[in-house]
């Protein structure tokens, strides 16, 4: 399914009726100028230097249509065939600043959306037979285009029937169902009437950019302004990045230090179906809402309560759960590096393993600029923690980069420098094939002992640079999951700086201009960093990561930089791998994670649901019971009381001590195994390992 990732909607607010709004949908002069300017930047400065030709024209058209109608339930086959007349002409149109084709397609899209909403409203007033064995295909992204309006009507008849059945199973009254769905379908018409020319241009030009590469994007003046406002105001909210997927606002990720992340109740791709204010305020159905309006409901003053009904991705049968969150500022200190110690029994001895968890690569640039003595940064904070851990006599160190999405590149380089003498850390190649080697120039080593670096599928960008460098130098054993694979560099350009003075505001272009390469010559792009010891995977590479994105740049290799590996990592990890597998197969925590991953995989594989009420209810109850069984099996294994079915659907504002313990246990499942692997590396003899107990307690000074 095509995903439109944003913190605000692409649809602007307006109050025009549909007929007037549609008639007014024509490009402004600044849109034409912007299109020409964007095309020049892309063809001349983008890392791929894509030609704007007939082949690209076809790709742009396909992406534009899929962006507008990702589920193939708005356009008919004949509509698409008509659009295909532009297959080989959009390249010329963009170069000439001619946006008529793009606006013509969008006007047809608006017309069809109104038709679909009117049909849904009309069909809602009629009865349905829920004893018929038929299915609703909720994911049509890979299906053929509907032949005609009759076929569309059948798709939407089943959609309305499914919407009603879902609410019936959620024990809503007939009156409430009619009221809620009427508002939902009317909202489609309202949203359609609110579209402005700026939104059409933004959607089209982004289809052009995404057809080249997924991290290049255009931000209209309104999107740029609202994005900045959201970034400031989101400091008092729930701390989550949201996106639009079809009719839903979904959780893309939670921000370290924010209420959502600290609650432990949110999963990536959770869909928000309703929002309520306070501990007992009415839940407002937000399916089909503009994302900006959903954000406005979620955001609010510090220390106030908001409730969200969350539906897991791909699970149409789930009743979801209501999560209660107290709005707060993102606690920046929660993003700072933190330490802990895990003791791993080894026969008659115990290995003390230090853990430093780094949620993001950060630096207080303002503090550094002012010359503050104690300004914070990942490297400075980690250096302090290393001194403290060594004073506590640790035997080894785990650096936890799980869920670390990146951040400051200089910090990734300087952090690497804490564990190596001076040398190259990452290579950067730009669109002109110019290569720049970024080095650590500090000879000091803060810690010389054995290290494992824990990563997962959410470890990206700067995390991958650090993990890759530590692996290439043979300085650490990498454990966990294959990382995200984000190995490109973007720069944001203000288009008005390249336009005549007094031009209308043109917006911004985020342009991919370079690519990262490890010092061994491999790129982190697409493939990510592959662990030396892989954990059972919780996330599918087909669903998450760079390789799951359309038109992502491929993996590549260049000449290795000049560096000297430390040779501290074993050539043969088979014994360590066997011990790891033995532990994880018996570990209740890993069994829980695997069972959860398998259930998620099965849910994502489904593209349809039955509309036979009895069978649907049985499937729903089966899934709920299986979910409760998985949860309680793990809870009882760690000495916690089992949950009831009602607990899965409602979350208390204040987490109990048991809930806090459960969340901590889940977060630490992989961390504990990373520590156990390191303990094995320390205690299991291997002649190829040059790290010895005598140098694990180094004073921090270079020899």
Picking from 265, 298, 240, the residue whose alpha carbon sits closest to that of residue 647 is 265
Share of the chain above pLDDT 70, in %: 88
Q: Which helix (H) or strand (E) holds 325?
A: strand 321-326
Please report the pLDDT score of residue 319 as a whole number.
66
Domains of the chain: 4-214 (no CATH), 234-329 (2.30.42.10), 336-572+669-695 (3.90.226.10)
Q: Choose between 412 and 320: higher pLDDT.
A: 412
What does the pLDDT average to over 346-361? 92
Confidence of residue 652 (pLDDT cuts 50, 70, 90): low
Q: SS3 string of 202-251?
A: HHHHHHHHHCCCCCCEEECHHHHHHHHHHHHHCCEECCEEEEEECCEEEE
Give yes or no for residue 139 having a pLDDT over 70. Answer: yes
Q: Write down the catalytic residue from 69, 328, 472, 651.
A: 472
Do the Cβ atoms of 446 and 641 come closer than 8 Å?
no
Query: Which residues on adjacent β-strands are paired with residue 426?
Result: 438
Cα distances (angstroms) measured from residue 507 to each of 46, 97, 432, 493? 18, 16, 26, 9
Lowest mean pLDDT among 331-335, 425-429, 460-464: 331-335
Give yes or no for residue 451 having a pLDDT over 70. Answer: yes
**Exposed/middle/buried for 509, CB within 10 Å: 0-12, 13-18, 19+?**
buried
- The average confidence (pLDDT) of the chain is 87
User: Which string of DSSP letters, residue by residue, matches 359-415?
Assistant: SSB-B-HHHHHHT-TT--BHHHHHHHHHHHHHHTT-SEEEEE-TT---B-HHHHHHH
Cα distances (angstroms) measured from residue 233 to each of 108, 295, 299? 36, 10, 8
What does the pLDDT average to over 80-105? 97
What does the pLDDT average to over 629-633? 92
Do the Cβ atoms of 42 and 212 come closer than 8 Å?
yes
Do the Cβ atoms of 375 and 477 come closer than 8 Å?
no
Please report the pLDDT score of residue 9 as a whole number.
25
Please report the pLDDT score of residue 236 as a whole number.
55
Share of the chain above pLDDT 90, in %: 61
Q: Choose between 300 and 634: higher pLDDT.
A: 634
Q: Choose between 675 and 374: higher pLDDT.
A: 675
The HSE-up count of residue 344 (CA atoms within 13 Å, CB side) is 25
Number of Cβ within 10 Å of residue 622's Cβ equals 11
What does the pLDDT average to over 142-146? 97
How large is the angle between the packed helices 409-417 and 378-391, nearest 10 degrees?
30
Picking from 628, 632, 650, the residue whose alpha carbon sits closest to that of residue 640 is 632
Please report the pLDDT score of residue 338 as a whole number.
95
Per DSSP, the three-state class of 315 is coil
The HSE-up count of residue 352 (CA atoms within 13 Å, CB side) is 13
Q: Tell me, yes or no, if 486 is annotated catalytic.
A: yes
How large is the angle between the packed helices 613-637 and 588-605, nearest 10 degrees?
160
Q: Which helix (H) or strand (E) holds 356?
A: strand 349-357
Pairing of strands 349-357, 396-400: parallel
Please report the pLDDT score of residue 274 as a whole number.
87
Q: Which of 162-171, 263-272, 289-298 has the highest mean pLDDT?
A: 162-171
Q: Tell me, yes or no, if 656 is annotated catalytic.
A: no
Q: Tell me, yes or no, if 699 is annotated catalytic.
A: no
What does the pLDDT average to over 684-703? 44
Please report the pLDDT score of residue 17 as a whole number.
38
Picking from 297, 346, 326, the residue whose alpha carbon sits closest to that of residue 679 is 346
Q: Choose between 535 and 693: higher pLDDT.
A: 535
Q: Write down the catalytic residue from 34, 461, 463, 523.
A: 461
Q: What is the pTM of this model?
A: 0.84
Lowest mean pLDDT among 96-105, 312-321, 343-352: 312-321
pLDDT digits (tens, 9 = 90+) for 2-13: 333 332 222 223
Cα distances (angstroms) measured from residue 487 to each of 196, 210, 526, 530, 597? 35, 17, 7, 14, 26
Q: Which helix (H) or strand (E) holds 165?
A: helix 149-169
What does the pLDDT average to over 121-128? 96
Q: Write down the catalytic residue from 381, 486, 651, 672.
A: 486
Do the Cβ atoms of 390 and 419 come closer than 8 Å?
no
What does the pLDDT average to over 589-598? 90
Q: Which helix (H) or strand (E) holds 112?
A: helix 100-124
Q: Choose between 671 and 651: higher pLDDT.
A: 671
pLDDT digits (tens, 9 = 90+) for 232-259: 434 457 878 787 777 788 888 787 777 8
Query: Which residues on adjacent β-strands are paired with residue 557?
Result: 522
């Amino acid at each position: 399914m095509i995903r439109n990732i944003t913190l605000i909607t692409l649809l602007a607010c307006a109050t025009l009726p549909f007929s007037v709004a549609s008639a007014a949908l024509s490009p402004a002069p600044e849109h034409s100028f912007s299109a020409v300017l964007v095309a020049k930047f892309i063809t001349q400065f983008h890392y791929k230097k894509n030609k704007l030709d007939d082949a690209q024209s076809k790709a742009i058209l396909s992406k534009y249509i899929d962006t507008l109608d990702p589920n193939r339930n708005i356009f008919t086959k004949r509509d698409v065939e008509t659009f295909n007349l532009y297959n080989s002409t959009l390249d010329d149109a963009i170069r000439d600043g001619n946006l008529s084709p793009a606006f013509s397609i969008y006007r047809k899209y608006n017309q069809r959306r109104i038709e679909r909403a009117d049909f849904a409203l009309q069909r809602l007033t009629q009865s349905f037979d829920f004893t018929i064995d038929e299915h609703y295909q909720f994911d049509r992204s890979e299906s053929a285009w509907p032949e005609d309006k009759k076929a569309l009507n059948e798709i939407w008849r089943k959609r309305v029937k499914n919407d009603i059945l879902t609410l019936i199973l959620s024990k809503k009254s007939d009156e409430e169902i009619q009221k809620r769905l009427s508002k939902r379908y009317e909202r489609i018409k309202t949203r359609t009437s609110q579209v402005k020319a700026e939104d059409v241009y933004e959607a089209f030009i982004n289809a052009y950019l995404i057809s080249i590469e997924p991290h290049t994007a255009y931000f209209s003046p309104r999107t740029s302004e609202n994005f900045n406002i959201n970034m400031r105001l989101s400091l008092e909210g729930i701390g989550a990045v949201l996106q639009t997927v079809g009719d839903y606002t979904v959780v893309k990720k939670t921000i370290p230090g924010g209420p959502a992340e600290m609650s432990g109740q949110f999963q990536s791709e959770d869909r928000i179906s309703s929002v309520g204010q306070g501990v007992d305020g009415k839940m407002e159905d937000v399916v089909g809402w503009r994302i900006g309006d959903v954000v406005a409901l979620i955001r609010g003053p510090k220390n106030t309560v908001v409730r969200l009904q969350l539906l897991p991705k791909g699970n149409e049968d789930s009743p979801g759960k209501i999560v209660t969150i107290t709005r707060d500022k993102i606690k920046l200190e929660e993003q700072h590096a933190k330490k802990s110690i895990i003791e791993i029994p080894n026969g008659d001895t115990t290995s003390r393993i230090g853990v430093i968890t780094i949620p993001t690569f950060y630096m207080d640039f303002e503090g550094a600029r002012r010359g503050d003595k104690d300004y914070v940064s990942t490297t400075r904070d980690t250096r302090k923690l290393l001194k403290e851990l060594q004073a506590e006599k640790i035997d080894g160190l785990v650096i936890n980069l799980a869920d670390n999405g990146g951040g400051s590149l200089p910090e990734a380089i300087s952090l690497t420098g804490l564990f190596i003498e001076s040398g190259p850390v990452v290579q950067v190649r730009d669109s002109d094939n110019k290569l720049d080697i970024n080095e650590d120039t500090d000879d000091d080593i803060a810690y010389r002992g054995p290290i494992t670096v824990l990563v997962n599928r959410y470890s990206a960008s700067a995390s991958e640079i650090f993990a890759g460098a530590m692996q290439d130098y043979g300085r650490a054993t990498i454990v966990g999951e294959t990382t995200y694979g984000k190995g490109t560099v973007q720069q944001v350009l203000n288009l008005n700086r390249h336009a005549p003075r007094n031009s209308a505001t043109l917006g911004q272009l985020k342009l991919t201009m370079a690519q990262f390469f490890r010092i061994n010559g491999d790129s982190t792009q697409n493939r990510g960093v592959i662990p030396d010891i892989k954990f059972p995977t919780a996330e599918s590479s087909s669903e998450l990561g760079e390789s799951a994105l359309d038109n992502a740049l491929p993996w590549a290799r260049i000449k290795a930089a000049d560096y000297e590996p430390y040779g501290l990592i074993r050539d043969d990890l088979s014994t360590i791998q066997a011990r790891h597998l033995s532990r994880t197969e018996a570990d209740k925590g890993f069994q829980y994670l695997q069972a959860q991953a398998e259930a998620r995989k099965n849910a994502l594989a489904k593209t349809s649901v039955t509309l036979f009420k009895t069978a649907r209810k049985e499937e729903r109850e089966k899934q709920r019971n299986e979910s409760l069984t998985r949860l309680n099996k793990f809870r009882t294994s760690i000495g916690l009381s089992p949950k009831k079915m009602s607990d899965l659907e409602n979350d208390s504002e204040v987490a109990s001590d048991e809930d806090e313990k459960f969340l901590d246990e889940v977060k630490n499942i992989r961390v504990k195994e990373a520590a156990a692997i390191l303990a094995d590396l320390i205690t299991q003899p291997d002649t190829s390992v040059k790290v010895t107990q005598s140098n694990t307690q180094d004073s921090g000074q270079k020899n």
